[in-house]
Amino acid sequence: MHTIFSRVNNVSAFLSSCLMSLVLAVAIASALYHTYQTPPAAGVVVNSIKVLPGKGRYLRKYRSRQQQEFAFVNFNLTADLSPLFHWNTKQLFLYVSAEYTDQQGTANEVVIWDRIVRRKEDANISSTFKNKYHLKDMSTTFRNAPPAHYTLKYNLMPYVGLLAWGEAARTSEPIPFPEPHQLA
């Protein structure tokens, strides 16, 4: 007849099948919820951009003695991201990127600021920030570089299901890089 091990095996197989069916239903419901969700209200306003010369260091063992220009961006960020938080939201990854096309026609997207939001209470952001990460061009200079758009994007990480990406805000006009300042 049936031993205790075969009965335990049958019960555990049935329970794991029910659990996987539940997880699949949650993932499908979450994906449908994100498809019909309205985008959050946000805005990015660039206050100032400074381009300063400096020494570039790409890797520790390959030190470059070549002069490199770095752009420093100050921007205002206002966003109400609380509609993105619901029953399946674990955390939200926010980032501001500068998007421009260089002289060779290559599209560049450089992340200059990021933040992880884990609670709905922290989802209202209204402050002035500066870039956390270096903004530099591969050609080592921003002279004759075309203007850049600055965008606020998000990556919604659910407990169960697929990741959802979106764009919350974008500057209306591209903002040009100024001439480099000389250090005294």
Using CA atoms, how far apart are residues 178 and 25, in angstroms rounded to an integer?
52
Distances (CA, A) of 147 to 100, 121, 178, 183: 6, 35, 9, 23
Tell me the mean pLDDT in the region 52-64.
59
pLDDT exceeds cutoff 60 at 62: no
Using CA atoms, how far apart are residues 44 and 174, in angstroms rounded to an integer?
12
Confidence at residue 184, expressed as pLDDT on a 0 to 100 scale: 44
pTM, entire model: 0.78
Confidence at residue 78, expressed as pLDDT on a 0 to 100 scale: 93
Give the pLDDT confidence of 64-112 residue by residue, as tens digits: 566 788 889 999 999 999 888 888 889 999 999 999 887 778 888 999 9
pLDDT exceeds cutoff 90 at 27: no
pLDDT exceeds cutoff 60 at 60: no
